[in-house]
């Protein structure tokens, strides 16, 4: 079966792009990275694409509609069937989002709908939650909204700052994004309103408590 062609949009480091590149290095993985587009010429992710021989483009310094038109043309020429936003920091043109509805996904480092937008790890710490995580979702016009495909949960530890929490979440992102793209590529997903139903999915049969119940005794 031909592999699903994915176009990845980035703005920076590109570690999630790398996770997708690494997953696609396995010939049995059902998707391939057909093209990478950055809105910033200095994005490290462009180097990752170059070193893997993936076509890559910079689309910068344009207004929103012009950016969308140029991006759409590159995606079309590459035969892209799924757009994956991976640390892409530009607001997309609404018509572009609508044109790619149900064919564009994003990863966000929180358990949406909690903590959308900027600094989600800072928001999580400020709110005092005991768990955070990451979310892959289909993209809708409002920032960080859309039907949720998959989520990963990580604990918040008492000693956490923004950086340590971000690192723990990022490690989960690198597992979650390849899984979510695989589910799309395998056509397992059905969007039902705000929910995404997954054929053959198995949810983990666990409830995690933070802190755990097996604390050392504190009685004197």
What six digits make up the tokens of 203? 């949810």
Burial tier of 87 (Cβ tally within 10 Å: 0-12, 13-18, 19+): buried
- Is residue 14 part of the contact set for ligand GRF (CB under 6 A)? yes
CB of 89 to ligand GRF, least distance (A): 8
Residues 6+ apart with CB under 8 A from 166: 109, 121
Check binding of 15 to ligand GRF (CB under 6 A): yes
Q: Is 108 a catalytic residue?
A: yes
Strand duo 104-108 + 148-155: pairing:
unpaired
The piece of 9-17, 24-32, 155-163, 187-195 that touches ligand GRF (CB under 6 A) is 9-17
Question: Based on CB atoms, which residue is closest to ligand GRF, 87 or 146?
Answer: 87
CB 205 to ligand GRF: min, Å: 27
Residue whose structure tokens are 């799924």: 82
> One symbol per residue from 75 to 114: x for binding ligand GRF (CB under 6 A), - otherwise; what is it?
-----------xx-------------------xxx-----
90 token code pair: 């530009």
Nearer to ligand GRF, 15 or 132 (CB): 15
Q: Which is nearer to ligand GRF, 13 or 103 (CB)?
A: 13
- Min. distance of Cβ 3 from ligand GRF in angstroms? 21
- When binding is defined by CB under 6 A, the residue of 4, 6, 9, 12 that contacts ligand GRF is 12
Interface residues for ligand GRF in 154-213 (CB under 6 A)? 170, 173
Residue 196's nearest CA partner among 155, 143, 139 is 139
Between CA 66 and CA 104 the distance in angstroms is 19
- Residue 183 CA to residue 109 CA, distance in Å, equals 19
- Written as six digits, the tokens of 103 are 């064919």
- Which residue reads 């910079």 in tokens? 58
Catalytic residue among 56, 108, 137, 174: 108
- Pairwise CA distance, residues 129 & 196, whole Å: 25
Among 7, 16, 115, 156, binds ligand GRF (CB under 6 A): 16
The binding site for ligand GRF (CB under 6 A) comprises 12-16, 86-87, 107-109, 170, 173
| Positions marked active-site | 108
């Amino acid at each position: 079966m031909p592999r699903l062609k994915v176009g990845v949009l980035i703005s920076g480091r590109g570690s999630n792009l790398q996770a997708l590149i690494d997953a696609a290095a396995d010939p049995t993985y059902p998707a391939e990275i057909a093209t990478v587009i950055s809105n910033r010429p200095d994005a490290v992710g462009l180097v990752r694409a170059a070193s893997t021989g993936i076509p890559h483009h910079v689309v910068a310094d344009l207004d929103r509609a012009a950016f969308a038109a140029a991006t759409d043309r590159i995606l079309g020429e590459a035969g892209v069937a799924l757009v994956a936003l991976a640390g892409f920091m530009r607001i997309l043109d609404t018509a572009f989002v609508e044109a790619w509805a149900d064919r564009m996904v994003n990863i966000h480092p929180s358990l949406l709908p909690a903590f959308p937008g900027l600094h989600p790890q800072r928001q999580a710490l400020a709110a005092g939650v005991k768990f955070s995580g990451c979310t892959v979702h289909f993209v809708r016009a409002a920032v960080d909204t859309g039907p949720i495909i998959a989520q990963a949960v990580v604990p918040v530890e008492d000693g956490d700052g923004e950086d340590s929490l971000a690192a723990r979440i990022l490690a989960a992102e690198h597992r979650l994004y390849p899984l979510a793209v695989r589910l799309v590529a395998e056509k397992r997903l059905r969007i039902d309103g705000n929910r995404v139903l997954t054929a053959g999915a198995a949810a983990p049969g666990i409830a995690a408590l933070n802190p755990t119940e097996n604390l050392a005794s504190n009685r004197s």
